[in-house]
């Protein structure tokens, strides 16, 4: 899928983010998996903030819950937090990560640029690889 279309989907997800009553700060994400399927998500706030789920994780977990395991591209309307970066590492260590303010104003990153030396399954030894 073209970057522009993925960015449009993430921007729509941002506008449709339905539960941000505390900060009012909406974030949207679109995740393209290796088979071309696309999942979107918005952030979901919880009053104590710690259990809040970011847009990126919402979209990724939707995809994983449907059986997908390999991310090709992540588009987010805000820079992914550290937790989201680690989730991206789990399912897309070589994924492209696009941070978009608009269709024309965006940056493309690799995971290594955003999370160098990330924790990986290889760290657990042969038992889990």
> Among candidates 105, 103, 113, 112, which has minimal Cα distance to 3?
103
Give the integer Cα–Cα distance in Å for 37 and 73: 11
Helices (H), the chain: 3-16, 55-65, 82-92, 111-114
Is 56 annotated as catalytic? yes
| Of 56, 66, 103, 113, catalytic | 56
Helix, strand, or coil here: 74? strand
List residues with catalytic annotation.
56
């Amino acid at each position: 899928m073209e970057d522009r279309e993925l960015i449009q989907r993430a921007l729509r997800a941002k506008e449709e983010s339905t539960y941000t009553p505390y900060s009012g700060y909406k974030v949207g994400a679109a995740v393209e998996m290796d088979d071309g399927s696309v999942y979107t998500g918005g952030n979901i706030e919880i009053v104590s903030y710690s259990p809040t789920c970011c847009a990126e994780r919402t979209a990724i977990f939707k995809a994983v819950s449907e059986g997908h395991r390999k991310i090709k591209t992540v588009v987010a309307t805000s820079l992914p937090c550290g937790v989201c970066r680690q989730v991206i590492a789990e399912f897309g260590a070589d994924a492209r990560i696009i941070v978009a303010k608009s269709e024309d104003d965006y940056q493309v990153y690799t995971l290594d640029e955003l999370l160098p030396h990330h924790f990986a399954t290889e760290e657990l030894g042969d038992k889990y690889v």
